[in-house]
Amino acid sequence: MKKFIDESWLVLVMGVVFAGLLAGAENTFGPKIAQNKRAELEEAVLAVVPNVARSESKPVGLTEVFKCFDEDDKLVGWALPASGFGFQDKIHLVVGLSPDALKITGLKVVDNKETPGLGNKIDDDEWSGQYAGLDAAKEVKVVKTQREIEQNEIQAITGATISSEAVTKIANQIIAEMRPKLDELR
């Protein structure tokens, strides 16, 4: 027991040193990481709303909404960042809406940690492109089976139905929550 107590100082010193190194890394790289995440978000805003020349960030409660304009300062749409849980971890995405908020103009997954080769296919433009043109006033549904897709349905990724449904649930929630509030921001 005496040997354990005599040598425990090494564990304490190592703990303090590693905690200091982690804190230093956070202070050094934290602002750059935040800057890169913001740039990625702004790039996604441009991807989900067509013909965007500039956007303005507007707070709506705890949520941030992007009001998107063309070169003539005409409103061309809205971009709604959102996040929620998928199969593995949190999924961060941006949903684009038309100026009247009646159509979905696009969806872009900004960050995910879903299963490589399966669930992370939610990043693919081909899959997320299914959302463009859907009715924002109605709930989007996920179809698992290979059949003719009906109005406001998207085809799930084979082997990644949970991830597909998670993205759709996140998109449906942010649209339902924000659509009524967009009129106040016009």
pLDDT value for 1:
67
Query: What are the average pLDDT values for consecutive 10-residue runs of the chain, which has 186 residues?
Result: 74 88 90 90 93 92 92 95 92 95 95 84 90 94 82 88 93 94 82
pLDDT value for 114:
84
List the Cα angle 164/169/173 in 5-degree steps.
Answer: 155
pLDDT value for 3:
72
Give me the DSSP letters along 122-133: GG-HHHHGGGTT
Question: Which of these, 161, 158, 139, lies nearest to 150 by C-alpha position?
Answer: 139
In whole angstroms, give the CA distance from residue 30 to residue 141.
38
Q: Please tell me whether residue 143 adopts helix, strand or coil conformation.
A: strand
* Tokens, residue 42: 């702004």
Largest CA distance in the chain: 78
Q: How many CB atoms are located within 10 Å of the residue 166 CB? A: 24
In whole angstroms, give the CA distance from residue 44 to residue 27.
27
pLDDT value for 144:
87
In whole angstroms, give the CA distance from residue 55 to residue 66.
6
Q: What is the pTM of this model?
A: 0.84
